[in-house]
Amino acid sequence: MTNRNETILPAESQIDADASAVAAGSRLDRAIGSTVDPPRRNWLFALLLVAGWLGQAGLRAWFSRGQTVPLDNPDETAYLIAARVLGGGPAADFSGATLYHATLYRGGYPLLITPVYWFTSSPAAVYHAVLLINAAVSATVMPLGYLVCRRLGLGRPAAYGVAMVAALLPAGFFFSEYAIADAIFPVVTLAWLLAIHSWLVATSPRARYAAAVGSGVLSGYAYAVHPRGGVLLAGFAAVGVFIAWRRPAARGSVAAAALTAVVTAGVGWTLDRYLASALYPQGTHNLSGQMVSTLESVYGAIHVAEEAGGQLWRLVLDSWGIAGIGLIAAVAVAVRGGLGPPPQAARSAAPPQAARSAAPPQAARSAASSPPAGTARRGVRTDLRVMASLSVGVTVLIACAAPAALPPHQSLTWASGRYLDGMTVTFFLVGAVVLLRAAPRQILALAACVAGLTVVAAVTVAVYAGASLPTKRGRTFNFGEPAVLTQNWSQASVMVATASALALLLVWIYFALLARYMRVLASVLGAAVAALSLVAVAQITAHCSRADGVWARAMGVRQMAAAGGLKPGEQIAIASDVTGVLRIAQAFEVSSTQVQFFNPHRQLPPADVTVVDAAWPTGQPARASWPDAPAGWRVVAVNRFGSWVIWRR
């Protein structure tokens, strides 16, 4: 869907500097390269976009239907309780020993789900409602992906198909099953990139200001959602400086964008300070300080650079190789100005007459009237080079910042795909466009680069995280895709996962090249990638979400909160020796009051407490859970598997 101020870029100008990779006028070109459709089809594609979004939302809701309690703790519980506090409910103490480390979970995502608490305080109802919100927001990857593909030159049918497939990637799908910021971050990332590109290519003052303000809001909100949103905010600032430098007439929009970003980020910062005072009375863990401490030494900087390889390794694996093609293609556009000959050769080589005559009228008009920020330079449009540079820069910075800000003992997160989920989806879209439109020689060159760099990254992962990654219950959350690629749900071999991903990439390339002669194979390719992604999501859900749900029910996470029969106005305390996961979960499951904590071996619970949760020592009677219980306290519920005992007076 486009408007009169939106530039549709001719596919030829984006894939190769001197010629269209697909013969103009061929059946395949007509199928996937058209940028103008008859007006009578506009309503059809609008309905298809809505239907696609509904279908994607329905799939996400169906996969998360079995979730009953927060499973990714402390993350889920922290976000849910932050939303409860914003909705006027009781707080919790997340500082000190309550969590593994007192990390501040930012307020952007809790703000989105806070309205749920306006209608109910039931933990079960709240959690199900939040997952439905996740499903609706996460499914927006599909229409946003469609817009990305349109701007990269694909026709409506092909853009729709690629967007539907991209929305099924586990990187943009699986996290919607959890109440965490990762459920919406790919959507924020795509919307942010589209807004910035609209700002670059806007052809009227109204469109320019609208895009500038929109990109400012999204940059500030990304900062408020997750620490890696700070990288997006920095990228936005860099683009603003570029526009102010290259286009003096647009400096008013730069000022408006800067003001909007400052206000939005300032609101997010204020919100975080409020949540910190309410939930972290003893202070929070400083991620920025950790990152500075890690990078201040040469050894630390080298170590982080090596660890970043694990993040980029997962970007390739988690997209079945296709995002790797997109990333290397973006690097080529940013550095060399395109995938084809050097810029000098591109300028001297005249494009084929067929390619010139096949350029759609709307695209030709847009190219002719493009603003200075998007003018042609060195064989490629400047806005394409800016977006390519921005995307690659953001990816590298996130890949480096994530391990630098994490505690040193969390080595397995070096190979997590969670932090680059938004860029994985983005580069999957770019890679798919390249496979459909680039020349065979270009595709093979990109694939060779991807294969070589992925093997190097895999060796780095094997050295620092181990030759195999744990994929058993409790670890599948971070290593689901390697488990799918190796079909090993205990220990996934790094090299086997790498070989599987590269083999899949070879299959995709084979089908993409054959599709030049049999266009039906392009649909077969899309269906194959979509099927693989759906199977992957189903397997990860079964081995992670479902398995963790069974474990949570056996542990009695929800039963523990209900067993004490806590009445309105009554208080509850949890012994410090209760399993950490249970302590964290009870802070959410007990919604009528703030949970208190005490050491049963050194102190009595607060005087106003009427229910106590204690740990049940192995091989001892239930009363041994609190040997110094005062008179009047009695055991009312136990769970041997969860090792807990409920006392009441």
- Mapped onto helix, strand or coil, the DSSP state of residue 492 is strand
Token pair, residue 86, equals: 């914003």
Residue 337 near residue 378 (C-beta atoms within 8 A): yes
Q: Are residues 607 and 505 in the same domain?
A: no
Same domain, 96 and 187: yes
Out of 336-350, 379-393, 526-540, 594-608, pick the least confident: 336-350
**The two three-digit tokens of residue 341, written as one number:** 């000959």
Residue 408: its pLDDT value, please?
A: 65
Q: Average pLDDT in the 327-349 region?
A: 69
225-269: per-residue pLDDT in tens? Answer: 999 999 999 999 999 999 999 888 899 999 999 999 999 999 999
Tell me, yes or no, whether 67 and 196 share the same domain.
yes
Q: Poorest-confidence range of 291-300, 445-454, 511-520, 544-553?
A: 291-300
Residue 30 has pLDDT above 80, yes or no: no
Residue at which a domain ends, from 547, 579, 601: 547
pLDDT of residue 6: 39
529, 547, 565 - which closes a domain? 547
Cα separations (Å) of 402 from 324, 418, 592? 19, 10, 36
> Mean pLDDT for the chain?
85
pLDDT at 406: 75
Q: DSSP letters along 240-296, please? A: HHHHHHH-GGGHHHHHHHHHHHHHHHHHHHHHHHHHHHHH-TT--B-HHHHHHHHHT
- The one-letter amino acid code at 130 reads V
The span from the CA of 496 to the CA of 408, in Å, is 27
Lowest mean pLDDT among 41-55, 98-112, 569-583: 98-112
Closest CA to 502 of 228, 639, 317, 236: 317
**pLDDT over threshold 70, residue 8:** no
Instruction: Note whether residue 625 is domain-resident.
Output: yes
Rg (CA), the chain: 26
245: buried, middle or exposed (CB in 10 Å: 19+, 13-18, 0-12)? exposed
Count of domains for the chain: 2
Report yes or no on 6 lying in a domain.
Answer: no
228 sits in the region (left: phi over 0; alpha: psi -120 to 50; else beta) called: alpha
- The pLDDT of 409-438, averaged and rounded, is 88
- Give, as one character, the DSSP assignment of residue 166: H
Average pLDDT (599-623) is: 90
Q: Which of 37-46, 446-455, 619-628 is least confident?
A: 37-46
Query: Sorting pLDDT into bands at 50, 70 and 90, what band is 378?
Result: very low
Q: How many CA atoms lie within 13 A of 576 on its CB side?
A: 11
Q: For residue 1, tell me if it sits in a domain.
A: no
Residue that wins the pLDDT comparison between 125 and 466: 125
pLDDT at 341: 52
Please give the pLDDT value at position 413. 65
Asked if the model's pLDDT at residue 531 lies above 50, the reply is yes
Average pLDDT over every residue of 298-306: 78
35-44, 360-369, 480-489: which range is least confident on average? 360-369
Mean local confidence (pLDDT), 551-578: 89
* Same domain membership, residue 562 and residue 543: no
Nearest to 90 by CA among 589, 558, 607, 566: 589
- Which pLDDT score, from 0 to 100, does residue 377 have? 39
Q: Which range (134-143, 259-268, 523-532, 565-574) has the least confidence?
A: 565-574
Token readout for 365 is: 């008009």
CB contact at 8 A, 275 and 107 = yes
In this structure, the answer to whether residues 599 and 628 fall within a common structural domain is: yes
The number of residues making up the chain comes to 649
DSSP state letters, 376-444: EETTEEHHHHHHHHHHHHHHHHHHHHHHHHS-TT-GGGGG-SSTTHHHHHHHHHHHHHHHHHS-HHHHH
Per-residue pLDDT, 21? 42
Cα–Cα distance, 127 to 162 (Å, whole number)? 32
Cα–Cα dist 217/211, whole Å? 10
Q: Are residues 472 and 573 in the same domain?
A: no
- Of the pLDDT bands very low, low, confident and very high (cuts 50, 70, 90), residue 74 is confident
Q: Count H helices and E strands in the chain, helices first.
A: 28, 9
Q: Is residue 124 part of a domain?
A: yes
Answer whether residue 552 is part of any domain: no
- Residue 411 confidence (pLDDT): 59
Which of 488, 474, 512 lies closest to 322 in space, CA to CA? 512
| Predicted confidence band of residue 2 (pLDDT cuts 50, 70, 90) | very low
Question: Following CA atoms 254, 260, 266, 268 in sequence, which dihedral angle do they give, to the nearest 10 degrees?
Answer: -120
DSSP 629: P
Range of the domain at 435: 11-547
On whether both 579 and 485 belong to a single domain, the answer is no
Query: End of a domain among 495, 513, 547?
Result: 547
Q: Do residues 607 and 95 make contact, with C-beta atoms less than 8 angstroms apart?
A: no
Residue 343 pLDDT class (50, 70, 90 cuts): very low
Same domain for 405 and 325? yes
Q: What is the DSSP letter of 41?
A: G
CA separation for the pair 169, 150 (Å, rounded): 19
What is the pLDDT, as a whole number, of residue 302?
A: 77
Say yes or no to pLDDT of 371 above 90.
Answer: no
Task: Work out whether strand 644-648 and strand 609-615 pair parallel, antiparallel, or are unpaired.
Answer: antiparallel
Percent of the chain with pLDDT over 70: 85
Could you tell me if 518 and 617 lie in one domain?
A: no
pLDDT at 306: 79
For residue 571, is pLDDT > 60?
yes
Q: What is the mean pLDDT of residues 1-10?
A: 39
Q: Is residue 305 part of a domain?
A: yes
In the predicted model, is pLDDT for residue 367 greater than 50?
no
Indicate if 562 and 517 belong to the same structural domain: no
Residues 536 and 593 in one domain: no
Per-residue pLDDT, 339: 72
Q: Is 123 within the bounds of a domain?
A: yes
Do 508 and 561 lie in a common domain?
Answer: no
- Percentage of residues in the chain having pLDDT higher than 90: 61
Q: Are 449 and 502 in contact (CB under 8 A)?
A: no
Cβ atoms < 10 Å from Cβ of 281 = 12
d(CA 48, CA 71): 35
pLDDT level of residue 376 (50, 70, 90 thresholds): very low
Predicted confidence at residue 466, as pLDDT, reads: 82
Q: What is the pLDDT of residues 154-172, one digit of tens each?
A: 988 999 999 999 999 999 9
